[in-house]
Chain A
């Protein structure tokens, strides 16, 4: 290993050091020098001007997670399509065939999700979880499968 190898990193170390000092210093100064007059409004969580209604430690419907995952899938597809469209003429037939193949792989996933009812946001079908009481909160309707509610570690035998 040459001696110059680690020396290349010295500017990065310097930058990291300066940034850390600056951030810590600014926070420390405002902590030491700033006047503190707390009031109820100031201590409340900041929610873009809307009155806070409670903390975020609730159970959310699993649908939100599904939406997030589906979003990632199709987001990647669209991101991939844009640069392809820009140089479409240079890629010619081969690029077209490759993109058709790519969409041909993603599209079955879309059909599958559709038929599984992922895009049916409106109502929650509880028929699949027969013995699950719906957990209702004011204004929010959540359904939590039994598995989550009763999950306790099972003792899996001895070592």
Chain B
């Protein structure tokens, strides 16, 4: 194989790559852009046919309505619950995932399978029991109740995710660390954990977004305005008087921001994970 033709082939591939990616971006963006455009329309232009592709006039009225309501409080609630859940889940998930990937112990298969089974439980069927239990122990309508349930639901996912990442790290690395005189825990924290940053970042995304968007548990385990989470707040725009599309879409756009922000922050972790990866050191 000569060098020159390969280069042109690569260039053609690059074009194809960008075309496919651009098409995917369009596919991904259209519904979100539609939400954004809708949120900027005046009320009488929201539902119109033929559809109005551009808000004319552009108005921030819908956003004003969102910020005048209790929505800001719901954003705060969702944020608090998501961060607490994330902390609990990542701690348990990375330790558990590491143990699952590295240590052999009696009944490991069973434990792993039980973990997987928890993910398999259909969420809708445990709602009523969860509600009754939360009331019995006084955790109904509290942050703690939500965090406990969310963490309980997400830790198995996190363990399974992290286990995949730990397993893709060569064992020689820790063995080397152990030979250098590290305890297993030190080896884990100093050597392995930094290597799984991409994994941690991915798990964080998974957990955070899940909590941020979760609807039916939030609906069941909260009742007061002080505790309500964003998805339930959004759902209140789908009233028995029809859907209030303008404020709903404005609230959706605001709800997307923190997650996009989180993702932008975690991108750096991906990149760091990439550059620090490998066994060169």
Instruction: Answer yes or no: are A and B bound together in one complex.
Output: no
